[in-house]
Chain A
Amino acid sequence: MNTLKLVRLVAWGSIAVLTAAMLYLLLAPKPDGGSGVASIGGPFRLAAADGSVIDSEKLNGRPFALFFGFTNCPDVCPTSMLEITNDLTALGEITKDFRIYFITVDPARDTAALLKEYTGSFDPRIVGLVPKDEQELANVARAYRAIYRKVETPSGYTMDHTATIYLMDAQGQFFGTLDSKETPQVRQAKLRRLIAKG
C-alpha cells in the first residue's frame, strides 16, 4: 500500500464518518423525546388583578386556560372571553374550579383595577394577570410562543397579539387550544376532556 492509497482511504473514511454523523443529527430523536409535540408553556408567577399572586407551580394540580390580550381590543378579546364564559356555563359544575388567566400584553395601560373591571364583565373564573414590566411579559410570552407587538395608529397605538386560548393540564403541560372558529360543541368537548384528565 503506497502513501497515495493510504491518503485516499483516510479521506473516504472521513467522509463516511461525517456523513453518518450528519445523518444521525438529522434523523436521531430530539432531546425532548421526539414526540413531535413542541414544548409550549412554562412556569409563571404574575400579579393578579385582584391583588393576589398567581404562581403556576402552586395551582394544586388544576388544569387551566391562558389567553394573551388587552382591554383596548375591540373584537377578538371580548369575543374569546364571552365564548369561553358560555362554554364554562354550558359545562356546569365540573368547571367550578377551572380558571382562565388573561395576561395583558399592554401592562402600560391595563392597570390591575381596569383589568379586574374588564374580566368582571364576563365570568369570575377569568383572572386578569398584569406583568410588572416588559421583561416579565416577554418571559411568559416566550414560554407560550406567543407574539405581541405595539403598532402605532393615528391617535395612539394598538397591539398585535396571539389570540389563541391555551389549554394546560394539571401538570402545567400543553394540552391543546381553543379557537373561535370551532363550534361550541368542539370547544366544550376539549374542555371536558382536559378537566377529566386533570
Chain B
Amino acid sequence: MFRTNIPLRARRCASAFALVSLLAVPAAAHDYKKGDLRIDHPWSRATPGGAKVAGGFMKITNAGKEADRLVGGSFEASGVVEIHEMKMDGGVMKMRALEKGLEIKPGQAVELKPGSYHVMFIELKRQLKEGESVKGELVFEKAGRVPVEYKIENLGAKSGSEHHGGHGAPKS
C-alpha cells in the first residue's frame, strides 16, 4: 500500500503542474490575425440545459485599406452558424440574420457583443460549460477562413473575461 502511494502522489503533483502551465499559456494572449484583420478574444456563454443556441462574441479590427465582411463560420459544438443582429425595440427583442454578413470597414473595429451583433450558434449538439474552449472558424469575404477558439464564460457574462478581468454573473 505504502509503496504505491508515492508514485500516485507524484503523478498527481505532475498533472497539477501540467494543468497550471496549460492554464497559464492561453491566458497570455487570445487574439488571431489574418491579413489586415485582428480578432480579439472570441467568447461565448455557458448554456442552460436544453438550449439549442448560443451567441459568439469578439472584437474584429480591420487595419487595412479595404472593407471586409464576416459572412459565416463554423463551431465545433453546433450544426449551423449564422451572423445575426439583436436589438431591443420598445421592450421587444428582435433578432435578424444578416444575409450579407457583417461589414468591417477599413480602419475600424466592430464589436460583437450581447444585445448586438453576434455569431449565432444554431443546433447546439451539447451544453456549453463555463471554462472550456470550443474550436471554430470564421469566414471572411476577403481574408478567408480564420480558425479560432471560443472561451466559454459564465452564463450571465456581459463581456469577455479579458475585458473586465474576472468572471461572474451579476451577483449582489
Number of interface residues of B (CB under 8 A): 36
Q: What bracket does the count of chain A residues touching chain B fall in?
A: 35 or more
Beta-carbon contact of A118 and B55 below 8 Å: no
The reply on B171 being an interface residue by CB < 8 A is yes
The residue in chain B whose Cβ has the minimal distance to the Cβ of A90 is B172
Partner pick for A83 among B99, B118, B170, CB 8 A cutoff: B170
B93 partner residues in chain A, CB cutoff 8 A? 73, 75-76, 160-163
Which residues on the B side are within 8 Å of A119 (C-beta)? Answer: 48
Of B4-12, B84-92, B142-150, which binds chain A? B84-92
Question: Chain A 64-86, CB within 8 Å of chain B: the 1/0 string?
Answer: 00000001111110110111001
A153 lies within 8 A of chain B by Cβ: yes
Report which of B55, B80, B122 forms a contact with A75, defined as CB distance below 8 A: B55
Contacting pair A82 B118 (CB below 8 A)? no
- On whether the beta carbons of B52 and A71 are closer than 8 Å, the reply is yes
Interface string of B117-151 (1 = CB under 8 A from A): 01011110000000000000000000000000000
CB-CB under 8 A from A188, the residues of chain B are: 172
Q: B-facing mask of A109-129, CB < 8 A → 1, else 0?
A: 000001101111110000000
- Min C-beta distance of B130 to chain A, whole Å: 12
Interface residue B77 (Cβ < 8 Å from any Cβ of A): no
Max count, chain B CB within 10 A of own CB: residue among A75, A76, A120, A161 = A75
Q: Is A154 an interface residue (CB 8 A)?
A: yes
A75 to B53 CA separation, bound complex (whole angstroms):
9
A185 interface residue (CB < 8 Å to B) = yes
Bound form: Cα–Cα A117–B52 in Å: 12
Q: A86-B170, A86-B172, A147-B92 are in contact. Are A72 and B52 (CB under 8 A)?
A: yes
Complex interface: chain B residues within 8 A of A158 (CB): 95
Write the nearest CB–CB distance from B155 to chain A, whole angstroms. 6
Contact partners of B123 in chain A: CB under 8 A? 155
Residues of A106-150 at the interface with B, using a CB-CB cut-off of 8 Å, are 114-115, 117-122, 147
Chain A minimum-CB-distance residue to B114: A75
| Interface mask (B41-61 → A, CB under 8 Å = 1, otherwise 0) | 000010111111111000000
Chain A proximity of B110: nearest CB distance (Å): 17
Alpha-carbon gap, A149 to B80, bound state (A): 22
Given contacts A74-B51, A117-B49, 17 further A-B contacts (CB under 8 A): A71-B51, A72-B51, A72-B52, A73-B93, A74-B53, A75-B93, A78-B47, A81-B48, A82-B170, A90-B171, A121-B48, A121-B50, A154-B97, A155-B80, A160-B94, A161-B92, A184-B170
**27 pairs, A vs B, C-beta closer than 8 Å:** A71-B50, A75-B55, A76-B86, A78-B47, A82-B169, A86-B171, A87-B172, A90-B172, A118-B49, A118-B50, A119-B48, A121-B49, A121-B50, A121-B155, A122-B48, A153-B84, A154-B82, A154-B99, A155-B82, A155-B123, A156-B122, A160-B92, A160-B93, A160-B94, A160-B95, A162-B91, A185-B172
Chain A contact residues, CB within 8 Å of chain B:
71-76, 78-79, 81-83, 86-87, 89-90, 114-115, 117-122, 147, 151, 153-156, 158, 160-164, 184-185, 188
